[in-house]
Amino acid sequence: MELVYNEIPREFLEVLPDGIKYIARHGKDFLVVESLCCPQGHSLMVDSVRIHGEPAVKIGVTIEGQKGSFFIDAFWGSHKKLCDFFPSAQGGALVDAFCPVCGTSLMVGDACSESGCGAAKHIQLLLPGEKNRILVCGRLGCPGHRLETQKASGQIIKKISDINFFGSQIDDFFGGI
Ligand SMILES: [Zn+2]
Ligand SMILES: [Zn+2]
């Protein structure tokens, strides 16, 4: 998949939360997640699987009774992901995500604001520090995702959360990091 360039607001780079780095590639700038953990503090980053050259985010998932792992592109807004199983579920199914190390659920009650989705749960990925986190809609195929950080203004957060790379249809399981 080609990385699609999205403009990163300059103001955001000044208040970049821990766990997200800014990189320039081919003269364009991107945000890349480099540190995420479960509520028990286990890292969700894996060096053994790389997407676009960066360590992927690994989460355990249960979808319609099937259990496996997703490896998600760490480039912010990318929809690229790999699985270690063949999901029979179609887009629209609800995902139950858990930490691949300790099995703690990553799901939190949080209604999706994308029109027509209606999912009541999000996958919560914790950034280093007390309050910063990324929330990804638990419905396959829904682009709903957002960043919550204390340092940036609501307007900047909205711009960042709206970044989506629609470069890949096949891997478009859920919008997210
Ligand atoms: Zn854990
Ligand atoms: Zn949704």
pLDDT per residue as tens digits for the range 17-57: 999 999 888 778 889 999 999 999 999 999 999 998 899 99
Q: Which domain holds residue 33?
A: 10-161
pLDDT band with cut points at 50, 70 and 90 for residue 104: very high
pLDDT band with cut points at 50, 70 and 90 for residue 70: very high
Tokens 């909205």 belong to which residue?
Answer: 158
> pTM score, two decimals?
0.86
User: Is 27 inside any structural domain?
Assistant: yes
User: Is 66 inside any structural domain?
Assistant: yes
Please give the average per-residue pLDDT across 88-109, as a whole number.
93
Say which ligand is closest to the CA of 97: 1
Contacts of 96 (CB under 8 A, 6+ apart): 61, 62, 63, 105, 107, 138
Residue 74 alpha carbon to ligand 1 centre in Å: 19
User: Is 61 inside any structural domain?
Assistant: yes
Domain count, the chain: 1
pLDDT of residue 65 exceeding 70, the answer is yes
Residue 118 alpha carbon to ligand 2 centre in Å: 6
- The more confident residue out of 40 and 140 is 40
User: Is 102 inside any structural domain?
Assistant: yes
User: Is 171 inside any structural domain?
Assistant: no
HEC string of 1-42 equals CCCCCCCCCHHHHHCCCCCEEEEEECCEEEEEECCCECCCCC
User: Is 168 inside any structural domain?
Assistant: no
User: Is 48 inside any structural domain?
Assistant: yes
Please give the average per-residue pLDDT across 130-157, as a whole number.
86
Residue 159 alpha carbon to ligand 1 centre in Å: 30
pLDDT of residue 27: 79
User: Is 176 inside any structural domain?
Assistant: no
Q: What gap in Å lies between CA 133 and CA 125, rounded to an integer?
A: 6
Say which ligand is closest to the CA of 110: 2
pLDDT of residue 164 exceeding 80, the answer is no
pLDDT of residue 5: 63
